[in-house]
Amino acid sequence: MKLCARTLTFLLTAAILAVTARDARADGPVSIGVNGSGPLSRDAHIGWIRTGVYWSEINRDSWSPMDFERADQIVYDAVNNGQQVLYVLSGAPQWCGGGPRGTVPCPIEFWKAYVDAISKHYNGVVAAYEIWNEPDLQGQAAYAVGWDFPLGSNPRYIDYFTEAARIIRANAPGTLIVGPAMSGSTSRAVTIWEQFDQTWYPDGKNASSFVDVVSFHHNSRREDEHSEKIAYDIRDRINNIIRRFNPKNGWKPMWVTEFGWKSDQIGEVSQKTRTKNLLIEMGGGGYGILRGYNIPRAFIYVLATCDGDRGWSLYRCDSANPPVPRYPKWIVSNYLWNLPFPATQSQYTPRE
């Protein structure tokens, strides 16, 4: 059947309006989260925390009940402070084959038992779960960072993700499933995105259908990377990596679950300014670099630490031995404290 020019024009206009409407809905205020928990996160007016106790600490051996004592303290302190929790499920126990850094996946039945226990325990309490941490990396020194196992061998990360999502949706309906928490746009990352797009299960479901929110990390590594540079990099990642290799997830909400700058590289004032400006861009404001890309939430790395990551921290350390993070940096005292709790950045605020 041939379509007349008027009909074609109508259909094209409708398609453009649909895309425009979708993109318009994608822009808006950005809810500010942080990697870390405790009183300092509430002090900084942060409403979302990315946290969790490692699987290896909760499930210390194969015969004892799972121990939620430390996790309960973190989760319920946050909830009692009016905060919402993005809980990271990672850190496999060594007793089941997780390796010394918790980065080798245990047999999937152990994983399913752990996810079942934790999602029942925190039903209605934890707002979202992020499945693993930076599975595109290998051989990292930090604990529970990476997936030190061939991506095509069983258990696969993609199956870890989908089995966790099935369990969480059954035990805690409404809880968001977030991932894959990718570190970069590497060849391993591409493999994982392709597995999401191409994996189908016997019940007819595609792996992408188990993702509620797409997450990835984008910390700045160089002094010359300003907010607009990172915004362009994020846009490139979404367009040329996620939407190219996993189009089924390419238009879902995107959370940047780690981003930030080191104040010992660029100074506290610049750390504050670049963070604020990038959050404005994520909401679709500023130069409009990320307009229409649906980034409603972003988590600053990191709240407070006095170890090798202290430069990323939002708080300075005191002179105690060992030192303790205590004093707010400019990003807190001259930015976050100016935002009402829970901290949210409007896309209409002018860039600095």
Model pLDDT for residues 12-71, shown as the tens digit of each residue: 334 433 443 344 447 999 999 999 999 999 999 999 999 999 999 999 999 999 999 999
Report the alpha-carbon distance of residue 274 to residue 121 in Å, rounded: 39
Number of neighbouring beta carbons within 10 Å of residue 212: 19
Which pLDDT value is given to residue 16?
36
Which pLDDT value is given to residue 11?
37
Model pLDDT for residues 292-342, shown as the tens digit of each residue: 999 999 999 999 999 999 999 999 999 999 999 999 999 999 999 999 999
Which pLDDT value is given to residue 102?
98
Model pLDDT for residues 204-214, shown as the tens digit of each residue: 999 999 999 99
Tell me the CB-side half-sphere exposure of residue 243, using CA atoms within 13 A. Answer: 13
Model pLDDT for residues 145-189, shown as the tens digit of each residue: 999 999 999 999 999 999 999 999 999 999 999 999 999 989 999
Write down all domains in the chain, each with its CATH number in brackets: 28-345 (3.20.20.80)
Q: pLDDT exceeding 90 applies to what percent of the chain?
A: 92
Model pLDDT for residues 247-258, shown as the tens digit of each residue: 999 999 999 999
Structure confidence at residue 4 as a pLDDT band (50, 70, 90): very low
Which pLDDT value is given to residue 26?
77
Decide if pLDDT at 233 tops 90: yes
